[in-house]
Amino acid sequence: MTFRPLRDLLRGQIQKQGISNAITAAQVLDVARSVIVEVLGQQTAHYCQPAVYKSGILHIRVAHAAVAQEVFTQNAALLAALNKKLGQEMVQAITIGPA
């Protein structure tokens, strides 16, 4: 009887069940929360919510137009910080919408 590492078994089951995209999205959203605080500051981040990640696009919901402008202005810094923290180029674009 041969043993396979648990990591390999989990990876296979995740792909088989089709939940790898959901796991990736959850990881990106989690990292995005901390990056928003780092780049925009706690006060501005309070009015932002990373909402959806799909096909390389992160959608951030904002509560005010002024916050949307700040997210737009800091778009490049947010993308760079996100991808650096994720360890690869996973987020190609950020969209902004109302909360």
| pLDDT tens across the length of the chain (99 residues) | 677 787 777 777 766 666 778 888 999 999 999 999 999 999 999 999 999 999 999 999 999 999 999 999 999 999 999 999 999 999 999 999 998
What pairs with residue 96 in β-bridges?
60
pLDDT at residue 5 in the model? 82
Question: Which residue in 55, 23, 50 sits closest to 36, CA to CA?
Answer: 50
User: What own/partner pairs with CB < 8 Å and gap ≥ 24 does 65-69 have?
Assistant: 68/96
DSSP three-state, residue 97: strand
Domains of the chain, CATH where assigned: 6-98 (3.30.300.180)
DSSP 35-70: HHHHHH-HHHHTTEEEEEEETTEEEEEESSHHHHHH
- pTM for the whole structure: 0.81
